[in-house]
Amino acid sequence: ASDALATAEKTLRAYALTFPEAYEEFPWGERAMKVAKKVFVFLSYDRDTGVLHVTTKLGESNDPALGLPFTSPTGYGLGKSGWVTAKFERGTKPPVDILCDWIYESYTLVAPKKLVAKLTA
């Protein structure tokens, strides 16, 4: 089942990189998807511990997201500005559809308006 987490990470990474001008960097050893030098999703899958973390900035989905058993406000004070971290342990199957929705929402909150406009065009 750890394969489910590795597969989820690959799927989410590929999805995040479909957005206009999205690119990948590795600050602090974490996989970060960015647009216009701003992070819109952090992905980290630790093969040793078998834990996947997905961190996104959420607006209207923030409260419902935080009601789910696998989420918590992001540390380092980021939770106060809408960042949510989903954590999946080895043996669990992440809800990739929901996570993709969150990545989309995060992108629309972080990206410049002209790039967000390309999503709806």
102, 16 in Cβ contact below 8 A? no
Q: What type of residue is 9?
A: E
84, 55 in Cβ contact below 8 A? yes
52-72 pLDDT, tens digit per residue, is 999 999 999 999 999 999 999
Supply the pTM of this predicted model: 0.95
Cβ-Cβ contacts under 8 Å for 52 (sequence gap 6 or more): 5, 8, 9, 43, 44, 45, 46, 87, 88, 94
62-105 pLDDT, tens digit per residue, is 999 999 999 999 998 999 999 999 999 999 999 999 999 999 99
Closest by CA position to 25, among listed 6, 40, 10, 46: 40
